[in-house]
Amino acid sequence: MEGRTALVTGSAKGLGRRTALELAALGCDVAINYVRSRSEAEELVREIQGMGRRAAAIQGDIAIAEQSERLVEETEARLGGVDILVNNAGPFIRERKLFADYSVNDIHYLMNGNLVGTMLLDHRVLPGMRARQWGRIIHFGFGRAAETRSWPHRAVYAAAKVGLVSFTKTLAEEEAGSGITVNMICPGDIRGEYKEKGIADVQGILDDESLRGRPGTGEDVARMIGFLCLPESDFVTGNAIEISGGFDPIVSLVRQAGGQRAEKSGSRP
């Protein structure tokens, strides 16, 4: 992978950070994207440079078209054409609420950040990938996104990501002949500090909600992304790949909500 340039959105922290380190370890130069986490992004740049790779921290909110365009332009100017695009960034409103309670601004921001912004970034890097006859595009979904089930209290986010599933499959078919693969990663409920941890870090830690029995980690996700980006993975495209340890976040939340309603009413779930 030496000589390849990767752009990982939302990579100053969390799963994006772990992915950037994985790609650097495989030999890539990496553009680190952030919105507000400048110090974390610059620290990661220094870490990747210490691995002998080039890196740059570039600010930009992908939900804003002008900023996503500038993000790609700066990456090209500082590191070269984008060979690998990992669309990790995407706004998420943690408060659980009905669709009717969202503001119009919230709806636009969630759709732009999780669907439209991703499409525009893909559109921007495709000409270069086509010219080089090589490219890797990774989208992020959520667990079981490809099943297009309902997700109560997450209507806008879920709609954007489910739409991205269809786009992933369509783009994969359209660009296969140009040497470009397009896949989606669907992480399970990987929480907090575990997003940046390795698999060895969680050995012996029990997670009752995981069928595997241990918490998921950033390494679980990053290793799969690294595999999909390898030159030898050119036959793997158009997939929505679950990395969840068997955990189903939607069913878990629905059951939890049902239990809370039952407690309030005095009955058993």
Between 208 and 170, the more confident residue is 170
The answer to whether residue 256 scores a pLDDT higher than 80 is no
pLDDT in the model for residue 253? 55
Domain borders along the chain are: 5-265
Region 81-93 average pLDDT: 96
Instruction: Decide if domain 5-265 falls under CATH 3.40.50.720.
Output: yes
CB 30 within 8 A of CB 82: no
Q: Which two tokens stand for residue 245?
A: 């340890």
CB contact set of 161 (below 8 Å; sequence gap of 6+): 90, 114, 115, 140, 141, 142, 145
The Cα 1–Cα 226 span in angstroms is 10
Confidence label for 122 from pLDDT (cuts 50, 70 and 90): very high
User: pLDDT exceeding 90 applies to what percent of the chain?
Assistant: 80
Mean pLDDT of the chain: 92
Indicate the pTM of the whole model. Answer: 0.91
Laid out side by side, the sheet with 180-187 consists of 55-59, 29-34, 5-8, 84-87, 135-140, 180-187, 240-243
Pairing of strands 55-59, 135-140: unpaired
